[in-house]
Chain A
């Protein structure tokens, strides 16, 4: 327990001094403020222009745009930070030879792995959490009633980025950390992205062929897939409504974008445990 706490504590201290993470955080937080203030200024311009020629722009609609952009920003910066932590937290100790001194001390490889994972999780949650708090504060500029929507989205973002971090962490104990990041990107962001999209076509009955549906269903559960909040679907419905169309017409698009269910959340938990176990297995086998 002492070993785990020491490894976690000093890994966190190291992570807090890594400039790349600081840069990602600063760019992310400046981006969020910039998005919010920019949209608010645009809204004020539309509001003050009686001949604007736009549909009536409501606070709600502008806030929806902000939520939509924030989703992308949080997802992108969360991923960058996850890659940053995953590529450095264990790899540099193993690559530099620091592990030689650490492993000769009375600390088990299990305690070391748990400490590293805990530090990575804590760093990621804190950084993405701070960005989310900032986004929530910026939303006060709008007052459109979607303030709570960001919470669910943040949870999904944190959950997804944790999986990415663990995949990179596990791969970086086997291979060069840049190669590990590329492999993780192809695995998680490309392959599973395609699988998730295909699966959403199945669940919304856009693919009707029985064999194709079965194959996609099986493949979907063989890969980790990102959790999605109910926000994308709500955004589509709200945007369609704000555009003056009937809520019914948003049905197919909203169905494709439906949020993750309990099965997806259970699968996410399994994937987390699986990749944490891979991290431990790799560290245990590693000869330094």
Chain B
């Protein structure tokens, strides 16, 4: 059975608006890393939010561990690190993890074991400040930490390395590799194509809510080329050229 199965998913935020997600279909198996790519506004975050049960599709169906994403038992097996994560701002990192561990139903002994280890993994074990004093990078690391706290069978990472330094990115890549090996399914939503190419087995490239290209990495990226070439080729024709700088940029230099 697929960990997650998405069929003909459609979503629009207001009546009359174009579809934000328009007929997306894919499946993800245990131990598989699936990359969801696309330019800004392609509908990637809408897809992962529907899988996490945060927003509802207008059309189509989602099966998460054979159940509806609204089912808390299905979500108990899901770890979700959202894009630009935020948390109750007057709490500390350890309190956030304890809060989420309680929501996951972890008992006292398990919380005492997992929380310090997870904080150490995120590099936040010595952090005593409240979330409102955290940088974006620290929030992102906490976002990943809370996502793995429940030992999920499906980990959804929405732009997980956007605010991380190179060391943080390396750690996330290593985490994905280790989780894949232990049978965890990974759904990675990222703009960093080189990273996706390194860790994902299959990819789907989205544009304007639709899947434009999908398959294993070998199928999507022909030999001798890379994912960025394929991506640029796919979208170059549709996007206006931006090779001309605004006129005022040159004004100072000509004076």
Report which A residues bind B (CB closer than 8 A). Answer: 2-3, 5-7, 9-11, 13-14, 17-18, 92-93, 96-98, 100-108, 287-288
**A–B complex contacts, Cβ < 8 Å, 21 sampled:** A2-B105, A6-B99, A10-B91, A14-B88, A14-B90, A14-B91, A18-B90, A92-B88, A96-B87, A97-B84, A100-B85, A101-B80, A101-B87, A102-B100, A103-B52, A104-B52, A105-B104, A107-B72, A107-B103, A288-B54, A288-B55
Contact between B105 and A104, CB atoms less than 8 A apart: no
Given A98-B88, A106-B75, A288-B49, 4 more contacts at CB 8 Å?
A: A14-B88, A96-B89, A101-B87, A288-B54
CB distance from A18 to the nearest CB of B (A): 6
| Interfacial chain A residues near B87, Cβ < 8 Å | 96, 98, 101
B51-73 contacts to A (CB < 8 Å): 52-56, 72-73
Residue B86 at the A interface, CB < 8 A?
yes
B130 within 8 A of A: yes
CA distance A253 to B57 in the complex (A): 60
Determine whether the beta carbon of B103 is less than 8 Å from that of A98.
no
B96-125: which residues lie under 8 A (CB-CB) from chain A?
99-100, 102-105
Ranked nearest first, the 5 interchain pairs of A and B with the lowest CB-CB distance are A6-B102, A106-B72, A104-B80, A106-B76, A105-B103
Q: Does B8 contact A (CB under 8 A)?
A: no
Q: Is the CB of B38 closer than 8 A to any CB of chain A?
A: no
Best-surrounded residue of B55, B85, B87, B90 (most CB of chain A within 10 A): B90
Q: For the complex, give the distance between the alpha carbons of A103 and B56 in Å.
A: 13
Please indicate the chain B residues that have their CB under 8 angstroms from the CB of A5 in the complex. 102
A96→B90 CA distance, assembly (Å): 12
Q: Are B89 and A106 in contact (CB under 8 A)?
A: no
Q: How far is the CA of A2 from the CA of B80 in the complex (A)?
A: 20
A93-B104 Cα distance, complex, nearest whole Å: 18
Q: Are B86 and A96 in contact (CB under 8 A)?
A: yes
Of all chain A residues, the one with the shortest Cβ separation from B82 is A100
Contact B53 A103 (CB under 8 A): yes
B86 touching A97, Cβ below 8 Å = yes
Cβ-based interface call for B21 (8 A): no
Would you call B105 and A106 a contact (CB within 8 A)?
A: yes
Given A287-B56, A288-B54, A102 and B90 contact (CB-CB distance below 8 Å): no
Indicate if B161 sits at the interface (CB-CB under 8 A): no
- Which one of B76, B103, B130 has the highest number of Cβ atoms from chain A below 10 Å of its Cβ? B103
Give Cα distance in the complex from A11 to B87, angstroms.
Answer: 12
Complex Cα distance, B82 from A92, in Å, reads: 17
Bound-complex Cα distance A288 to B87 (A): 13
The proximity string for B residues 187-210 relative to A, scoring 1 for CB distances below 8 Å and 0 otherwise, is: 000000000000000000000000
In contact, A287 and B54 (Cβ under 8 angstroms): yes
> Are A105 and B82 touching (Cβ within 8 A)?
no
- Expressed in whole angstroms, the Cα–Cα distance for A100 and B54 within the complex equals 7
B130 touches A104 (CB 8 A): no
The chain A residue sitting closest to B150, CB to CB, is: A105
- A2 with B53: CB separation less than 8 A: no
